[in-house]
Amino acid sequence: MSLLFTPLTLPAPRGRLTLPNRIVVAPMCQYSAVNGEATDWHLMHWGNLLNSGAAMFTIEATAVLPEGRITPGCLGLWDARTEDKLASTLQRARKLAPHTAVCIQLAHAGRKASSALPWQGGQLLDAAHGGWQPYGPSALAQLPGEALPIAMDASELARVREAFVKAAVRADAMGIDAIELHGAHGYLLHEFLSPLSNQRTDAYGGSLENRMRYPLEVFAAMRAAYKGVLGMRVSASDWVEGGLDIAQSTVFAKALKALGCDFIHVSSGGVSPQQKIALGPNYQVPFAQQIRAATGMATTAVGLITDAQQAEAILQSGEADLVALARAFLYQPRWGWQAAAALGGTVEANPVYWRCLPREAQAAFGKVAVGGR
């Protein structure tokens, strides 16, 4: 039996979320919001991937404050206006695929905020070009020559922590099934964890215990306010000598579990231009395996996973509990259907598309409409 198409239950204080398979659509920034508000692009994008065959779809990094956006085009959830637009857009999309669980990734970009869109260069924007003042754990720029972020003081730490809590409550109110706290890819919470970006001399800098303090405070505050499925995405390694590594990330993961973390999504990199990543299929999977072995937490593997047999092998070898794909779903929006056909699994899908199936794939769906006028 294919493990990729067996159920997985994620426990939470309020109750359980049972996923019918182990496929997750990873969060992918679309840079298509207007003043933080979801647009028709999101309606199309979400509706498409909610019909992908994945058990859970993750909404892109969603900023908890306006200045926490990566770019001016990033999605937000910081007030009634952004909440209403996100909720109404999601409601319309979910009518097309009510069988798919929805997770949202809540984020703050830290010193990587106020950037141009990727296809416009991705450089730091100043106020004259639509940007704003970024904040971070220390007054250290992401790239040489960039303007320095403002080092966060106690009031700013409290304000951002409370913003994460409020965004979690807003997500819960709109019926989101799970929340993923973004602590990876060089954004704010990762910046606190990494000694490359955190050079504070107070209780939030220096030792690993101190560098973990603020991300754990944020998670604990969210856990107290939100009783649904709550997990975190981490960069297990900075891929830079002297940076965050898998040993430190394992300690952090154990601390998250003690606070009631329901799953951990294991990525890497993003905090330094000096990173030297050994790219290749499954290149991040060993990190997921080590964290899973050390914590027993439900673990999601991600990174250049592209075909069904590859995903199945990760699960069969005990390296992860869930497999997340991103770009592969953009290129093949029905990747889950193809995986089901390849591995003998089954998925739910909108019947409007049933007649598109090639004959050899029809067994992956319980009832297939082949007629019509």
Give the mean pLDDT of 128-147.
95
Domain that holds residue 286: 8-364
Query: Total domain count for the chain?
Result: 1
The string of pLDDT tens digits covering residues 19-58 is 999 999 999 999 999 999 999 999 999 999 999 999 999 9
Within-domain flag for 2: no
Within-domain flag for 165: yes
Within-domain flag for 57: yes
The string of pLDDT tens digits covering residues 313-348 is 999 999 999 999 999 999 999 999 999 999 999 888
* Integer Cα distance of 338 and 340 in angstroms: 5
Name the band, by pLDDT with cuts 50, 70 and 90, for residue 372: very low
Three-state secondary structure of 74-92: CCECCCHHHHHHHHHHHHH
Within-domain flag for 1: no
Within-domain flag for 237: yes
Distance of CA 241 to the CA centre of its chain: 25
Within-domain flag for 182: yes
For residue 363, the model assigns a pLDDT of 60
Burial 293-313 (b: 16+ CB within 10 A, else e): ebbebbbbbbbbbebbeebbb
The string of pLDDT tens digits covering residues 347-362 is 887 888 877 777 766 6
| Catalytic residue status for 226 | no
Question: Other CB atoms closer than 10 Å to residue 39's CB: what's the count?
Answer: 16
Within-domain flag for 101: yes
Within-domain flag for 371: no
Please pick, among 31, 135, 187, 214, the residue that the annotation labels catalytic.
187
